[in-house]
Amino acid sequence: MGQIDTGTPTVLAETVDGVGLITLNRPERRNALHPDMYEAVPRLLERFAADDAVGAVLITGAGDAFCAGGDVRDGGSANQLPADARDRGPDAEIAARAAILADNARMVTLLRDIPKITIAALPGAAVGAGMSIALAADLRIAARSARLIPGWPKLAFSGDFGGAWLLTRLVGPSRALELLIADQPIDAATAQQLGLVNRVVDDAELPAAAREWAAAIAAGPSAAFAGMKANVRDAQRLPLAEALLPESERMVRSALTDEHREAVRAWLQRAKAKRSEKAQS
């Protein structure tokens, strides 16, 4: 186990059993996003992506919530504006704030794009941008009491951190828009039925279950899993005929890895043992 200095108390990180663990750490604010997180989380994701000792990444929240989304009380992107932004007119201010918000959301693109399998563990509510962060992970495991809550309509916001984009790809455009507009909490069981959550466990079991799942993935063939992740990503954007060539290239590359050679060696040994057992019976 290795603790990592994240540069901020609002994010904790460590590596354990081949898993890079990121914990949003503002339990007193239900892990609402803090400006320090916008730098720390992407930096950790990039670090884990480049670390051969890390086979999977797990992101979760401290306490009884995953993430309550943007902290309305801190003023959001308005507090990050250059001093002269408002002096250049409303359009310039909107453009500046939009650029800041998009950059703050870089963690969601990294969760989707890094080659390591990413997992979000939800101990409780994931609201607004917090829901987006959870949906950006490749896989999700939720405590039975967890909820996914769009949250934006209550504040007359249209949504951020890729929430609509991610939701649309998981449930389709019509259902995504319905869920966004309705703004009703989606309980863990319903989220699993909709395909928004992969696994649901009792609340007390979540930390151990999430780490066990992540460790099992981390122990698997990381290059092959990275190829599978890329194949699934291509399936969402390319016609089959165009997806076949990059898929085939990844297959060939995986055949050249030590992981593949070791897996074949182990398979041959198991096959030999089975033949020997049959011959003796």
Task: Kindly tell me the sign of the dihedral angle through the C-alpha atoms of 109, 59, 177, 96.
Answer: negative
- Residue 10: predicted pLDDT: 98
Note the pLDDT tens digit of each residue in 23-33. 999 999 999 99
Q: Are residues 210 and 254 in the same domain?
A: no
The continuous run of DSSP H or E covering 200 comes out as strand 199-201
Q: Are residues 189 and 260 in the same domain?
A: no
Q: Are residues 209 and 237 in the same domain?
A: no
- Residue 273: predicted pLDDT: 85
Is the separation of the CB atoms in 178 and 168 below 8 Å?
A: no
Return the structure tokens found at 230. 């890329």
- Residue 91: predicted pLDDT: 83
Cα–Cα distance measured from residue 77 to residue 74, given in angstroms and rounded to the nearest whole number:
9
Phi, psi of 259 (to 5 degrees): -60, -40
Note the pLDDT tens digit of each residue in 124-182. 999 999 999 999 999 999 999 999 999 999 999 999 999 999 999 999 999 999 999 99
Indicate the residue type of 108: V
What's the DSSP call for residue 121?
E
Greater confidence (97 vs 167) lies with 167
Cα–Cα distance measured from residue 264 to residue 181, given in angstroms and rounded to the nearest whole number:
51
Residue 239: half-sphere exposure toward Cβ, Cα within 13 Å:
2
Residues whose CB falls within 8 Å of the CB of residue 127, separated by 6 or more in sequence, listed in order: 30, 67, 68, 69, 149, 150, 151
Note the pLDDT tens digit of each residue in 102-124. 999 999 999 999 999 999 999 99
SS3 letters across 213-242:
HHHHHHCCCHHHHHHHHHHHHHHCCCCHHH
Q: Are residues 269 and 199 in the same domain?
A: no
- Residue 76: predicted pLDDT: 55
3-state helix, strand, coil in the chain (%, to 5): 55, 15, 25
Is the separation of the CB atoms in 66 and 32 below 8 Å?
A: no
Q: Are residues 204 and 253 in the same domain?
A: no
Task: Kindly tell me the sign of the dihedral angle through the C-alpha atoms of 69, 73, 77, 79.
Answer: negative
Instruction: Give the 3-state secondary structure of residue 100.
Output: helix
Q: Are residues 163 and 130 in the same domain?
A: yes
Note the pLDDT tens digit of each residue in 60-91. 999 999 999 998 776 555 566 665 666 667 88
Number of domains in the chain: 2
- Residue 83: predicted pLDDT: 59
Greater confidence (7 vs 273) lies with 7
CATH number, domain with residue 182: 3.90.226.10
Instruction: Report the mean per-residue pLDDT for the chain.
Output: 94
Tell me the longest C-alpha to C-alpha distance in the chain. 87
Phi, psi of 221 (to 5 degrees): -75, 100
Return the structure tokens found at 204. 């007390």
Residue 96 banded pLDDT, cuts 50, 70, 90: confident
Q: Are residues 261 and 236 in the same domain?
A: yes
- Residue 112: predicted pLDDT: 97
- Residue 60: predicted pLDDT: 98
Structural domain boundaries enclosing 272: 222-280
Q: Give this prediction's pTM.
A: 0.93
